[in-house]
Amino acid sequence: MDFPVSRYRSCFLSAILTVGSMASVGCNSPAVDTLTQIKQRGEIHFLTRNSPTTYYEGVDGPTGLEYDLMKRFADQLGVKLRVTMPENFADIIPMIATGQADIAAAGLTVTGSRRSRIRFGPAYQKIRQEVIYRAGKEIPSKIEDLIGKRVVVVRGSSHEAQLRKLAESYPDLMWESVEDRSSEELIAEVWKGNIDFTVADSNEMAINQAFYPEARSAFPITQDEFLAWGISPRPDKSLDSAVKDFFEALKRSGELDQLLERYYSHTRGFNYTETRILRHHIKKRLTLYLPYFKEAGRLYQIDWRFLAAIGYQESHWKRRAISPTGVRGI
């Protein structure tokens, strides 16, 4: 059977173009960068940890400094936010290093050993590592005071790494590293008197002191350190650039300072007696009026916690309180 020349040429050219196109895609076209992949799948995957300084479930849903930052970044990219909390803190760096998530927003201290495994975004907060003790016991003032005592820290944390570094100069310094406790839980253990000391970041201690008023900072064991997001070390740096631009914009606009003020302003001027009284009033009084604060918050689109804070300042949530000008109630 004769095969028409024109048809033959058409099929031959089509085959050549198809093969050439396949070769071009397979050999010469650039790989899709990380940021484009995230936008194409419509989701960015963060690792974090449950903590008052990072991410926790509030009465109105997820909240925390890191959550607010993660949500803003995902919204800026136009993708959904996926958040995973690994079972142990020590799992976060390995998971980011092996690309099991895009970013770790977990209050990570930037250290040399971590830099060798992952990349970091811009620093967004300055902290120090501090020795934590319970008031009423002898106050430690130097590393030697920790020797012979029960010191417990989180495994895989920068606190553990710093103790290892200190042990080079103080070989008798001993400590326990645990996987099943968070830094906040160890502060609670010091407060309960179950352990002598732990090490915590200064921002963690500032927030938790309201919950554990007898837990105190003794002395720092580091100079200033910095917290930053940990980024998976993929070949391209498109995600790194996006994170850098994001934080630079937050700093320029003043929004980062506003977020830090929102989460940490209440930690300034800690008053031991007032804190204990507040804890008592939250338990005995706030629970009685909580539905009313929430209802008013929904009605006027105001955060109910702001209304409750004003009510406490004005009357300590006493419904029969009378102001100097004769105003009655909360």
What residues contact 79, with CB distance under 8 A and at least 6 apart? 38, 39, 41, 42, 43, 44
Whether residue 314 lies in the annotated active site: yes
Going from the C-alpha of 39 to that of each of 71, 74, 104, 287, the distances in angstroms are 15, 10, 18, 44
Determine how many CB atoms are found less than 10 A away from the CB of residue 49.
Answer: 25
DSSP conformation letters of 130-194? EEEEEBTBPPP-SGGGGTTS-BEEETTSHHHHHHHHHHTT-TT---EEESS--HHHHHHHHHHTS
Helix (H) or strand (E) holding 46: strand 43-47
CA nearest to 246, candidates 7, 70, 39: 70
Q: Which of 43, 214, 255, 314 is catalytic?
A: 314
Say how many residues make up the chain.
Answer: 330
Give the span between the Cα atoms of 163 and 146, in whole angstroms.
Answer: 11
**What's the distance, Cα to Cα, between the start and end of the chain in Å?**
100
What residues contact 246, with CB distance under 8 A and at least 6 apart? 72, 73, 76
**Residues noted as catalytic:** 314
